[in-house]
Amino acid sequence: MRQLRPAELKSWLDDPQRIRPLLLDVREPWEFDRCHIGGAKLLPMSQIQSNLAQLDPEQETVVICHHGVRSFHVARFLEHNGFNNVINLSGGVDAWAKEVDHQMPTY
C-alpha cells in the first residue's frame, strides 16, 4: 500500500498540474468537526462497507484518520475490494497539524 507523509500530500494538493485526489476522512463526525483537511469527505470507518458504492475504485483516494491506523485498515479494505489507487496518510491529521498546518487544532 502506498503511504504519503503530510508534506508530500500538501505538495500534491498545491500542484495545479495534478488531479486532486479524494481526501477520504474515516474518523467520527465529532473528530472531523474538531479539525480536518480542507476538501476532505467524511465517511466514518464504520460506514465504509455500506457506502462502498459511493466511492470510485479508479479515483486516487487518500485515506485519512487521526494517527494513520484506522486509515491504514480502511485503505487495506478498499484494496481488497478492487480499489487500485489507495494511499494512506501516514501520521494522519495529527501529523498534518504538526508538519503542515500549525494552526490546525489537535486533540
Asked, for residue 53, whether it belongs to a domain, the answer is: yes
* pLDDT at residue number 19: 96
The DSSP code for 59 is S
The answer to whether position 107 is within a domain reads no
DSSP secondary structure code for residue 28 in this structure: -
Catalytic residues: 65
User: Is position 91 within any domain?
Assistant: yes
Q: Is residue 89 part of a domain?
A: yes
91 φψ region: left (φ > 0), alpha (ψ -120 to 50), beta (else): left
Segment 2-46, tens digit of pLDDT: 999 999 999 999 999 999 999 999 999 999 999 999 999 999 999
Q: Is 104 within the bounds of a domain?
A: no
| CATH code of the domain in which 48 resides | 3.40.250.10
Distance CA 43, CA 23 (A): 10
**pLDDT at res. 59:** 97
Q: What is the pLDDT at residue 90?
A: 98
> What domain range includes position 67?
2-99
pLDDT, the chain, mean: 97
pLDDT of residue 8: 98
The verdict on residue 47 lying in a domain is yes
Residue 62 falls inside a structural domain: yes
Domain count, the chain: 1
- For 35-93, write each residue's pLDDT tens digit: 999 999 999 999 999 999 999 999 999 999 999 999 999 999 999 999 999 999 999 99
